[in-house]
Amino acid sequence: MATFKKFEDLEVWQKSRSLTKTIYAITTQGRFARDFSLRDQTRRCAVSTMANIAEGFGRKSPKEFALFLNYTHGSAAELQSHLYIALDLDYIDKSTFDKLYDECERISKMSLRLQNYLRQS
């Protein structure tokens, strides 16, 4: 695996950043924007995915980085759960749900692969 000098070089962080931007855009629309509790919690989950990657990388310890990648995995799962609520309340349509859910899944799998690599090294 390549050595990265900064967290911004990590594809998993880049995907998390993109997902966060999308979540912010979606949560500013319609009834989702007025559901302050769900909107804010959904945004926090998205932000946590990318922030945990950055923080873990910044710890400069493979063991700690792996731990924070586990937090990323958890935040992605929490975001998926919030997406179900948004779908059930008709804040998002099924197509949007599927796209966002799948992106969470990709980020989660990428974080787990990187986590496993770090624990083996």
Reported as a single tens digit per residue, the pLDDT across 11-38 is: 999 999 999 999 999 999 999 999 999 9
User: Which tens digit of pLDDT belongs to each residue from 35-84?
Assistant: 999 999 999 999 999 999 999 999 989 999 999 999 999 999 999 999 99
Angle, helices 94-120/11-26, rounded to nearest 10 degrees: 150
CATH architecture classification, 10-120: Up-down Bundle (1.20)
CA nearest to 33, candidates 20, 43, 45: 43
What predicted TM-score, i.e. pTM, was given to this entire model?
0.93
What is the pLDDT confidence band of residue 121, given thresholds at 50, 70 and 90? confident
pLDDT of residue 4: 79
pLDDT of residue 1: 44
Domain locations along the chain:
10-120
pLDDT of residue 2: 54
CA distances from 17 to 12, 89, 98 (A): 9, 26, 18
